[in-house]
Amino acid sequence: DADVTQTPRNRITKTGKRIMLECSQTKGHDRMYWYRQDPGLGLRLIYYSFDVKDINKGEISDGYSVSRQAQAKFSLSLESAIPNQTALYFCATSAPGTAAYEQYFGPGTRLTVT
Amino acid sequence: KQEVTQIPAALSVPEGENLVLNCSFTDSAIYNLQWFRQDPGKGLTSLLLIQSSQREQTSGRLNASLDKSSGRSTLYIAASQPGDSATYLCAVNNAGNMLTFGGGTRLMVKP
């Protein structure tokens, strides 16, 4: 089984709808991240969380919110989806206390807002 | 603000060639640098991670180097194969917290 899973894998929604993307991990990592990737571009950080009580905005947090329900679960919400939020969304995890802070990524969620 | 640039944006080579992908970054105070592979419509696979105190890392046919002072990293792929065709992403970690990604190099290796 994959260490970092994302649901759904694909989603098409309409402008103005609320949508939630979910991420779960079995790696036991404290830190979790949400990124988005637009076609032909690298990933940009939306939000990150160091533990259940610590949530931080990333580079492009406007229009998004997050919830860290447990150490293993981190959800991303679009309160009122708009077409320019069409993108590929990735969740990632990392562990403090290791020298590398290497990040491990989920398979991604492809979101289309029409 | 850290900025990461990857050159070239796309590369097409015949099978068997050795090739170099380039990554440059503006802030040399980095914690580590990761190279990822991304297949179309898929997630990211970590290839190599170089810590700030290291000069290079090797895994099989891949070798990544890091020159912090000049703000550069290179990914060397030896004896390229069609299965190496993918997008390669470079990402810099400034504070152990978050990654700043380059735009990627889209590689095609032709049989």
Interface of B with A (CB under 8 A): 4, 6, 9, 31-32, 34, 36, 41-44, 46, 49, 51, 89, 91, 93, 96-99, 101-104
Distance (Å) from the alpha carbon of B106 to chain A's nearest alpha carbon: 9
Report the pLDDT value the prediction gives residue A101, as an integer from 0 to 100: 73
Partner-chain contact A103 B104, CB within 8 Å: no
The answer to whether B14 and B34 are in contact (CB under 8 A) is no
**C-alpha to C-alpha distance for B45 and A107, rounded to whole angstroms:** 9
Residue A100 pLDDT exceeds 70 = no
Q: Within 10 A of A28 (CB to CB), how many other CB atoms are there?
A: 10
Which of A44, A100, A105 is opposite residue B43, by nearest beta carbon? A105
Dump pLDDT digits (tens) for B19-46: 999 999 999 989 899 999 999 877 889 9
pLDDT for B89: 96
Which of A40, A103, A108 is nearest residue B103 as measured by Cβ atoms?
A40
